[in-house]
């Protein structure tokens, strides 16, 4: 152990130039890591958007909505957020939903429109209520839309 101490203390410290080089290398590595993460996020968003706009609501998605509702019921709640998607996927980027325009369903596209149509066909006749809300505001702009399915008793 004494040898280790003497060898370490006898080494000259790295130069300022070496430290700056190490810092730049670490910053470049971190920038590459962040670029790769952004690329992965963009690829996920592109795949989601493609499926959202061109795909059909499938049995797994319907089952997920049912599970979310049943979990809310078990927790004693009368409402559950059952679906969310970027507001950019509305024809008006979520403006009608954000402003409470009663014609907000007209702005829906893709799977959001399909879920709304399923609600009209199956949920509304069974006494369910559906509301859409902007649930995030990144940079002060509408972000994601949330669909909330409710089953509270009617109030007079």
**Complete DSSP assignment for 98-144:** HHT-TTGGGG--HHHHHHHHHIIIIIGGGT-EEEEEE---GGGS--E
Contacts of 25 by beta carbon, 8 Å cutoff, 6+ apart: none
- Rounded Cα–Cα distance for residues 123 and 58 (Å): 17
- Rounded Cα–Cα distance for residues 97 and 109 (Å): 13
**Sign of the alpha-carbon torsion through 29, 35, 40, 41:** positive
| pLDDT tens digit sequence for 98-114 | 999 999 999 999 999 99
> In the chain, what are the domain boundaries?
15-53, 56-150
| pLDDT tens digit sequence for 48-92 | 899 999 999 999 999 999 999 999 999 999 999 999 999 999 999
Compare 31 and 8 and report the one with higher pLDDT: 31
pLDDT at 38: 92
């Amino acid at each position: 152990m004494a040898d280790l101490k003497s060898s370490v203390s006898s080494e000259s410290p790295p130069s300022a130039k070496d430290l700056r080089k190490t810092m730049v290398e670490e910053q470049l590595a971190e920038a590459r890591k962040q670029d790769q993460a952004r690329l992965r996020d963009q690829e996920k968003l592109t795949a989601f958007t493609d499926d959202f706009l061109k795909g059909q609501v499938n049995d797994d998605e319907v089952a997920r909505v049912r599970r979310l509702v049943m979990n809310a019921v078990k927790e004693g709640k009368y409402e559950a957020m059952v679906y969310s998607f970027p507001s950019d996927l509305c024809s008006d980027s979520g403006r009608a939903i954000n402003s409470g325009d009663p014609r907000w369903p007209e702005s829906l596209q893709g799977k959001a429109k399909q879920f709304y149509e399923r609600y009209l066909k199956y949920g509304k006749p069974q006494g369910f209520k559906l509301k859409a809300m902007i649930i995030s505001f990144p940079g002060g702009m509408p972000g994601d839309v949330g669909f909330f399915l409710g089953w509270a008793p009617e109030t007079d």
